[in-house]
Amino acid sequence: MNLRELRYKRVLMPLGVAPLLWLACLFASAQSPEPGSEQFIKQLRENAKRGDANAQHSLGFYYAIGNPHLGKPSMKEALSWYKKAAEQGLPEAAYKVGFCYEYAVGVSRPDLPEAAKWYRIAADKGVPEAQYKMGLFQATGQAGLPRNSDVAFVWFRKAAEGGLATAQYEVGSYYKSGFQGMTRDQVEALKWFLIAASQGDERAVAGVEFQRKFGGMTAAQIADAERRAKEFVPRRQSQ
């Protein structure tokens, strides 16, 4: 397994939960084949070939992780099935396609403009990870996109509201520093740092400590930020 495929497994494997949940619903009866069995994979392939987007997504997942009834893991095959699912509008699949093009997983070389195309599809349908990627591309002017911190912040904010800790930290940083002429708001900064820190983001943990000790905030402002953080509820992804 090469470094690109290892990166895929570390970053994208958590997104395999979605196809597995779908599979659990599809094969929930007592007569259903054992997940991963020969009959299971056969039925999954049949559904995928008939055009079922969820089956295509799940088949791509099995090609990525490997299955004895599919042969050795193949990111090229995985990408092919992810694309089919993405072309039918499955947002999680579109994100995976974007990731593969960004990091050259299943393709010969990175292609950032192509990655951005698929990330945008997923981002528009509410995938926080894709929204974060769009924010990074806009913030740095990569993937053929113009550098625009205002647009980047909009994407980071969407991802943060979707529950992504890395994006929550970015939003907190924007509010803390007043980046690119943005109005500083130390209460909002602490709020987003607190939310991200609750998910284990180490940078956010440091941000919380800094805001409390050196942010020049009153006790009332700190309490307000803590209240806002407690009231935060991530938005649901659109379908």
Assigned token pair, 131:
């929204």
Q: Which residues contact 51 (CB under 8 A, 6 or more apart)?
A: 88
Range 129-157 average pLDDT = 97
Residues 6+ apart with CB under 8 A from 229: 190, 191, 192, 194, 195, 198
pLDDT tier, 1 (very low <50, low <70, confident <90, very high otherwise): low
pLDDT band at residue 238 using 50, 70 and 90 as cut-offs: low
pLDDT for 10: 53
Backbone angles phi, psi at 110, to 5 degrees: -60, 145
* Structure confidence by residue, pLDDT tens digits, 148-185: 999 999 999 999 999 999 999 999 999 999 877 788 99
Q: Is residue 93 predicted with pLDDT exceeding 60? A: yes
Predicted local confidence at residue 34, as pLDDT: 80
3 is written with which tokens? 């470094």
pLDDT of residue 21: 44
Residue 97: count other Cβ atoms within 10 Å of its Cβ.
29
pLDDT (0 to 100) of residue 169: 98
pLDDT for position 130: 98
Q: Which among 212, 128, 227 is positioned nearest to 204, based on CA atoms? A: 212
pLDDT at 35: 78
Is the pLDDT confidence value at 99 over 60? yes
pLDDT of residue 30: 44
35-91 tens-digit pLDDT: 778 999 999 999 999 999 999 999 999 999 999 999 889 999 999 999 999 999 999
Q: Name the DSSP class of 34.
A: P
Q: So what's the pLDDT on residue 237?
A: 65
What's the rounded Cα separation, in Å, for the pair 194 and 172?
Answer: 9
Residue 145 per-residue DSSP state: P
* Radius of gyration of the CA atoms of the chain, in A: 20
Is residue 190 scored above 60 in pLDDT? yes
pLDDT in tens, 10-35: 555 545 444 544 444 444 444 567 87
